[in-house]
Amino acid sequence: MKYDIFTLDEIKKRLSSAQLVRERKKWYGEQDHTRWVFFDGQNDQCIKLWNDTYVRKECVQQAIEGDFYDENLIPAFRGLIYDSNEQCRGYVTQRCENINVDAITWKRVLDYVKQKTKETRLFAYDFVPEHIMLYKKENCEPKINLIDLEGVYPIEEYSSLHDIHIKQQLQKSNNLWDFSLPYMSTRQMFMKNTAYEEYIIELLHSN
């Protein structure tokens, strides 16, 4: 899939006239989960930025190079943002619109994502209906477009990611030894899209 490369310096110049849409400043232990989303009305584009310490900073590039993301899943994608140290610092997409995802659309997109996961052995941690939007390009049919792209990992890392998530949930409870918590009694599903998570587990067990 072809895409552009933006420098962080040129993106920073655009931020003075852009609108801050969403901001999340969060660390989990030593993991940086901080990121920002801006809307650049002059270019009709959304800009997602993160620190050079962001835990998922390389995931989008790896997902594109690994052929998980393609023009069927992210037709609005325009390019990656890099700083002077060649660290990925975010990405740029064309503006998309919110959409009510009906059951037929959801099944079609889910089946395609499952297919890509099987072919590439990569999975999207944050793949949920709320992250599906509609991209409208002039003189073209509207297309489905995924957002929140950076949570993509090899399925072989599923177990370690699961354990990290459970540990974080236990730390939030302020009681690491509370065995009444559901996380301690059974293997808890940690992705919001449990049907997709079950498919990932099946793929892991089939090998």
Q: Are 34 and 14 in contact (CB under 8 A)?
A: no
Query: What residues form DSSP beta bridges with 167?
Result: none
Residue 71 confidence (pLDDT) = 96
For residue range 90-147, list pLDDT tens digits in order: 999 999 999 999 999 999 999 999 999 999 999 999 999 999 999 999 899 999 999 9
Question: Is 68 exposed, middle or buried (CB count within 10 Å of its CB: 0-12, 13-18, 19+)?
Answer: buried
Pick the range with the lowest mean pLDDT from 31-40, 69-78, 154-163. 154-163
User: Tens of pLDDT along 8-41?
Assistant: 999 999 999 999 999 999 887 788 999 999 999 9
Q: What is the mean pLDDT of residues 43-50?
A: 98
